[in-house]
Structure 1
């Protein structure tokens, strides 16, 4: 059975695409990605979304619309509830299939298995097994697909720990040469930082200015665990927990000269997490913090000006 599965190049694509690709290809699927983000794709999403929708979901809708133009048989939009115990993803991920169905007409069939590793691992495995059975009836096909997915994900995360960004790994780009002598942490969701159009190539611009860039994905789980130990209360959002842990770890270990926080307009968890991290840095150590908020109107000139001024200030502080 030959079939094509479309995967939007947005949101959890930057976290789990290698696993998804391996899973479906093992079952015999052709993987079709939406195009790289363009203004047209973003505009499609903005037009389809309701007014209060956050920027990443607007962009996701644009990528789904782009896949519809490619005439794929299915679009994969899992309902991801949790990926670890006692932590959850933002409600937008829980309701993503319904958001897409209500905002976009004439969709192909959407594949929506519920992923809830934190509470219902058995049910999650049953959902994935049921999904696999739709496309391949060979004995052991599900277990082969699952093992291929886990192996691909482990390899992907190992490459991230080597200092590559998700964008560089997914695009098979070479590791960047060692940059300048100041280290700058850039904390934000991978789907904001690694979309070249949305972030205006923020990470590459910082490297071009002579900064060594660190992102949350480059640090091991032990660093996050060490960073959250001093928190009075942990965040129950998976990505928020990760950013708080990394931010606190880098602060306490005196690892960086400056911090860039990247938030998306309309994101409730972002507004809280960024505020908490800023307060940690102001109270505990004098590390400069730059907050950038992205929306569909963000201009490249303004971002470049702020980054240049920020990096110049870091070099000035180091030279004193």
Structure 2
């Protein structure tokens, strides 16, 4: 691939909703044309379900669909092998094995850039090795890698700052971050009343911000008069401080972020209730969801668990959501 202007496919799923701006900026700065798959739709979901193993959770199945959509349209796929993105924490094993799973499922399968990202022991060294590995797959080295890394870091940190903002109020979910396609939190549909209920909506970013896969739960809450607060609206310090209440450190990076956001929001008197969006078949969520619900029950904070799979009907989900919001309204006026 050296000295070639080539098309690199990036599936719009899973960790794209956490690191999409970084990946796009980095590869574009190295001269690649980055092709991101379109937002999830029924066609992509059905394609993924038909290719994936039955034991995979819904987000992984959808990832298969995005990768399959890109396969015939690009020269290579970028599917990093994510082992750990921070010290002493790890990512779900199914995500670690995605490159191998896709090679077995996609026929024909384009070349896959499967750079290993492992920051568990020495974060700085692990990140440097991952960056060099990604650049090496494109035949690039030297100062161009440093310039691309600096550009990616700048855009990524600006994107994170835009998500957090200055308060817990949600940003606009429908507003796309320029060129990345990563949705921000909240929804532009519907209007908040001046005394809107503040609702914490927690879950994985690839559920909350994928409006088809996650059925746009933040948008639905806002339409029902709620003011949405998402994990990305909180700072790392707020989340980590809240997690210190737990008897031991959670093993999974995303599980700890979700649990920390839940614990923090439970302590806020102006937060009326919590909604936890999870995917059927997610092992870490089966623990984190039950743990969060137990803490919410002890503190008297209303808690709604919504579990999604490829068979979930939107009508039933809407009914549960409306009933929960009605209950919170009655609870406030009681």
- Normalization by structure 2: what TM-score? 0.90
Distance 1:240 1:137, change over 3 A: closer
Shift of 1:168: 3.5
- Picking from 299, 304, 311, the partner of 2:313 is 299
Q: Does 2:171 match 1:164?
A: yes
CA contact (8 A) 1:160 1:166 kept: no
Distance 1:230 1:139, change over 3 A: closer
Q: What is the distance in 2 between the residues matched to 1:34 and 1:233?
A: 39
Gaps spanning 5+ residues in structure 1: where? Answer: none
Distance 1:176 1:195, change over 3 A: closer
- Picking from 57, 60, 80, the partner of 1:57 is 60
Alpha carbon RMSD of aligned pairs, Å?
1.9
CA contact (8 A) 2:113 2:137 kept: no
- Picking from 1, 6, 9, the partner of 1:6 is 9
Q: What is the distance in 1 between the residues matched to 2:103 and 2:306?
A: 31
CA contact (8 A) 2:47 2:68 kept: yes
- Picking from 84, 96, 103, the partner of 1:82 is 84
Shift of 1:303: 1.3
Q: How many residues align?
A: 318
- Picking from 104, 107, 124, the partner of 2:106 is 104
| 1:311 corresponding residue in structure 2 | 325
Q: What is the distance in 2 between the residues matched to 1:3 and 1:186?
A: 39
Q: What is the distance in 1 between the residues matched to 2:162 and 2:153?
A: 14
Q: Does 2:132 match 1:129?
A: yes
1:1-320 map, 5 Å: 1-69=4-72, 71-120=73-122, 121-135=124-138, 137=140, 139-162=142-165, 163-164=170-171, 168-170=175-177, 171=181, 179-180=192-193, 181-283=196-298, 285-320=299-334
Q: What is the distance in 2 between the residues matched to 1:82 and 1:290?
A: 30
Q: What is the distance in 2 between the residues matched to 1:27 and 1:173?
A: 25
Q: Secondary structure at the match of 1:51?
A: coil
Q: What is the distance in 1 between the residues matched to 2:212 and 2:134?
A: 33
Q: What is the distance in 2 between the residues matched to 1:317 and 1:274?
A: 23
CA contact (8 A) 2:30 2:140 kept: no
Q: Secondary structure at the match of 1:84?
A: coil
Q: What is the distance in 2 between the residues matched to 1:187 and 1:130?
A: 33
CA contact (8 A) 1:19 1:152 kept: yes
1:219-254 Cα distance to aligned partner (Å, 9 max, x none): 001111221111111211000111111111111233
Distance 1:319 1:60, change over 3 A: same
Shift of 1:6: 0.4
Gaps spanning 5+ residues in structure 2: where? Answer: none
Q: Secondary structure at the match of 2:213?
A: helix
Q: Secondary structure at the match of 1:286?
A: coil
Shift of 1:173: 7.5
Q: What is the distance in 2 between the residues matched to 1:83 and 1:167?
A: 27
